[in-house]
């Protein structure tokens, strides 16, 4: 069965000329890092992608350096460990699929990079999924290790509810309610699925502005040129 259809929410970044809510992207990164990253990878995002979006370059460098990456081979043919740098991609929680399934009762936590694009309902679906955990209706048995969530197709999902009020502490003082964290991490994942969206909208705005100026100019010149004709 299909999941319950997620209600459509008024996401700022879906408005025609609006860019992402960058404070929300920053809070959402925090939720991803402190909660989701324990099980989900984000393979398509490199540290450098966060620079100027949610964090400063110095902040991102420090965040990257907290992780160890395997590099090499060096001059003598050995692999070695080094701290992360801006060009490295987000670290993965598990070495391989086998380990990931073993840690999740057989279920595989999917990579979240393109999740917003991959699922029907996109941001609305992910928000509803994160906030939609509830007791199964009378008469519905949920197998051990699965959890009832009406938004998940089939209703029984291998991921348990992860967001609870107060789970993270936001540095900007925003109260970390379940719905606030779900919103912020969904905005973060929407950005991750389309990191070029802001630039695209800004370019579009410039193009429209230039065209308006050129149109105005050509109307003015045409009138001026033909003004002497009756
Ligand atoms: C699946 C998001 C945290 C384990 C999923 C899916 C999404 C998601 C969107 C895909 C659902 C679908 O297939 O339609 C998130 C977010 C998290 C988070 C945003 C943080 C706020 C976690 C954590 C764990 C986990 C901490 C492990 C303890 C899983 C597993 C699945 C899954 C095992 C596969 C479920 C199945 O196919 O039955 N998650 N997740 N997730 N997640 Fe998470």
208-217 per-position pLDDT tens digit: 999 999 999 9
Mean pLDDT calculated for residue range 9-36: 95
Of the listed ranges 1-5, 13-17, 144-148, the least confidently predicted one is 1-5
104 lines ligand 1 (CB under 6 A): yes
Residue 36 C-alpha to ligand 1 middle, in angstroms? Answer: 7
pLDDT band at 102 (very low <50, low <70, confident <90, very high): very high
pLDDT for 186 equals 98
Global pTM reads 0.91
CA of 79 to the centre of ligand 1 (A): 33
Nearest alpha carbon to residue 50 among 59, 41, 42? 59
Mean pLDDT of the chain: 95
| All residues at 6 or more sequence positions from 15 whose CB lies less than 8 Å from its CB, including other chains | none
Main-chain phi, psi angles of 83, to 5 degrees: -65, 150
In this model, does residue 1 exceed pLDDT 80?
A: no
- Ligand 1, closest atom to CA 38? 26
Mean pLDDT on 148-153: 97
Ligand 1 proximity of 110 Cβ (cutoff 6 Å) = yes
Query: What confidence tens digit (pLDDT) does each residue in 73-95 have?
Result: 999 999 999 999 999 999 999 99
Is the complex ipTM higher than 0.95? Answer: yes
Q: How confident is the model at residue 165 (pLDDT cuts 50, 70, 90)?
A: very high
CA pseudo-torsion sign 43, 33, 148, 177: negative
Ligand 1 in reach of 107 Cβ (< 6 A): yes
Give the whole-angstrom CA distance, residue 196 versus residue 173: 28
Q: Is the CB of 178 under 6 A from ligand 1?
A: no
| Residue 139 confidence (pLDDT) above 70 | yes
pLDDT band at 2 (very low <50, low <70, confident <90, very high): confident
Residue nearest to atom 32 of ligand 1 (CA): 109
Query: Does the beta carbon of 93 lie inside 6 Å of ligand 1?
Result: no
Ligand 1 atom with least separation from CA of 186? 19
My answer on whether omega of the bond before 73 falls inside 30° of 0, hence cis, is yes
Contact 193 CB / ligand 1 (< 6 Å) = no
- Whole-number Å distance, alpha carbon 40 to ligand 1 midpoint, is 7
Question: Which value, in Å, is the radius of gyration of the alpha carbons in the chain?
Answer: 23
């Amino acid at each position: 069965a299909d999941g319950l259809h997620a209600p459509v929410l008024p996401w700022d970044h879906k408005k025609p000329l609006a860019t992402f809510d960058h404070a929300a992207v920053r809070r959402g990164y925090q939720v991803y890092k402190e909660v989701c990253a324990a099980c989900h990878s984000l393979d398509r995002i490199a540290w450098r992608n966060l620079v100027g979006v949610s964090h400063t370059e110095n902040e991102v460098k420090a965040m990257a350096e907290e992780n160890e990456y395997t590099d090499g081979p060096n001059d003598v043919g050995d692999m070695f460990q080094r701290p992360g740098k801006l060009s490295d991609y987000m670290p993965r929680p598990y070495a391989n699929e086998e380990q990931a399934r073993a840690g999740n009762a057989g279920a595989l936590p999917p990579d979240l990079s393109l999740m917003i694009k991959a699922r029907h309902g996109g941001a609305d679906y992910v928000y509803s999924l994160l906030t939609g955990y509830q007791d199964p209706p009378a008469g519905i048995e949920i197998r051990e290790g699965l959890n009832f969530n009406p938004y998940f197709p089939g209703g029984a999902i291998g991921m348990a509810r992860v967001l609870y009020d107060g789970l993270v502490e936001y540095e900007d003082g925003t109260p970390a309610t379940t719905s606030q964290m779900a919103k912020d991490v969904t905005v973060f994942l929407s950005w991750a699925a389309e990191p070029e969206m802001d630039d695209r909208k800004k370019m579009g705005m410039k193009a429209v502005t230039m065209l308006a100026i050129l149109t105005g100019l050509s109307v003015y010149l045409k009138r001026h040129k033909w003004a002497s004709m009756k």
